[in-house]
Amino acid sequence: MDKLHKAVDFCIRHQTILGYSIVSLLTAGSEQIFSSVVFKCPCNSGNLLYGYSFLLAPAFVLLMLGYMVNARIWRLVTGKCSPEKHLQCCSCGTCVQFCQLLVPMTAKASVAPLTWIAVALLGANFYECAASGSSLTKWLFCKDKGTDCQKDLFKMPCNKTLSEKISSEWLSLQAQSQLIGWLLIASIMTVALISKCVSRCCSPVSYLQLKFWKIYSEKEQNLFKTKAEEHATKLAERNTNCFFEVTAPAPIHTPSNEDWQKISFLYTFNSQEQYYSMLHKYVSTNRGKSSKFEEEGQDVAVLAFVDEAQTS
């Protein structure tokens, strides 16, 4: 039981890394299934389109899914272009802030698509099919070899003997694909390390305070969800009972639209005001009525550190 408790505690503490690992493994497994079962290179002039479709189209779909399951995306865009805020939505400042917020969100959403592309390049099937139909490959392999060479080039993915014959003077298409795959993996790891180092070096808070911020954020989200479920249940029960039993509704306080809007902003840390979320700031500034509570012109540059606190 003690070992089970330690295992559960480990999973909770490293849930983000484990989540990314599971996503990567599922993506790699899906790529292997597609490569061995679904993918069949036509070995004709359609090689280029067919190969790159399997290489890039699933990656694009995974990127879109990554955006869709990211709660911060919906928190950022929900209600921002309503009729009441049309001018604010179209302003240059809002567009710049949206782009700044989109960078860390894109980095998280790119885990699955980059895994797909890297695994596909190491497997080489998609790239070999696509490259065999490109004009650049034709120039490299069939220079001064006549028109029959291009026809043979189309058939390379379907004929290993022919592939070895044509690529005797150059790196084979499989070798090229694997080299590109390893370069992609090395580049991703390098960029990830540099980004993490830069974000930590530029953090407005210390290491332990960042850890505290993470713990507070997790607890607040869990408690908010629990309290919201309780309040929604009570409100639903009251309205249902009043409808069927024709009784007067008991008073239940529900936050106003303005209050919901105030706590829905993506919070930016300010070293002069030690708050850890918009809810914390809302409660500490007399329910958002204090002059310190600013709704407009929020600086989003520190959002990356909030994400860092959530994923570290």
Domain of residue 10 covers 1-77+91-202
**Does residue 279 lie within any of the structural domains?**
yes
CA-nearest of 284, 287, 260, 259 to 270 is 284
Across 40-45, average pLDDT: 87
**Residue 296: which pLDDT band, with cuts at 50, 70 and 90?**
very low
Q: What is the CA radius of gyration of the chain?
A: 27
Which among 298, 304, 279 has a CA at the least distance from the CA of 221? Answer: 279
Q: Tokens standing for 280? A: 């914390």
**In this model, does residue 299 exceed pLDDT 70?**
no
Mean pLDDT in residue range 129-134: 87
Say if residue 55's pLDDT is above 80: yes
Higher pLDDT, 5 or 232: 232
Domain check: are 179 and 40 in the same one?
yes
Domain annotation covers residue 83: no
- Of 180, 202, 224, the one marking the end of a domain is 202
pLDDT for residue 190:
95
A 10 A CB-CB count for 177 gives 23
Q: Which of residues 28 and 145 earns the better pLDDT score? A: 28
Please check whether residue 306 is in contact with residue 269, taking contact to mean a CB–CB distance below 8 angstroms: yes
12 and 134 inside one domain:
yes
- Residues 118 and 154 both lie in one domain: yes
Write down the pLDDT at residue 292: 55
Q: What are the tens digits of pLDDT across the range 78-87? A: 776 766 655 5
Question: DSSP secondary-structure letter at 146?
Answer: -
**In a shared domain, residues 162 and 53:** yes
Name which residue leads in pLDDT, 272 or 298: 272
Going by C-alpha positions, the residue among 121, 152, 133 that lies closest to residue 54 is 121
Number of structural domains found in the chain: 2
Pair (26, 116) in one structural domain: yes
pLDDT of residue 157: 81
Contacts of 129 (CB under 8 A, 6+ apart): 39, 41, 43, 47, 50, 51, 54, 157
Name which of 54, 12, 57 is nearest 37 in CA terms.
54
Residue 289 pLDDT level (bands cut at 50, 70, 90): low
Q: Poorest-confidence range of 33-37, 206-210, 290-294?
A: 290-294
Query: What pLDDT sits at residue 295?
Result: 47
Q: What b/e sequence results for 5-23 when a residue is b if at least 16 CB atoms lie within 10 Å of its CB, and e otherwise?
A: eeeeeeeeeeeeeeeeeee
Mean pLDDT, range 142-162, rounded to an integer: 74
- Answer for the pair 101, 300: CB distance below 8 angstroms, yes or no: yes
Higher-confidence residue of 198 and 303: namely 198
Three-class SS of residue 204?
coil
Q: Say if CB 76 and CB 300 are below 8 A apart.
A: no
Range 181-210 average pLDDT: 90
Q: What is the pLDDT of residue 206?
A: 87
pLDDT digits (tens, 9 = 90+) for 217-240: 889 999 999 999 999 999 999 999
Q: Tell me: pLDDT of 13 over 80.
A: no
Q: How many residues are given for the chain?
A: 312
Q: What angle do CA 138, 144, 147 make, to 5 degrees?
A: 60
Q: Is residue 171 part of a domain?
A: yes
At residue 193, the pLDDT reads 92
pTM equals: 0.77
What average pLDDT does this structure show over 151-177? 74
Residue 82 lies in a domain: no
pLDDT at 168: 59
Specify whether 275 is located in the same domain as 294. yes
243-277 per-position pLDDT tens digit: 898 788 888 888 888 888 888 877 777 777 788 88
Instruction: Give the Å distances, CA to CA, from 101 to 6, 105, 250.
Output: 36, 7, 42
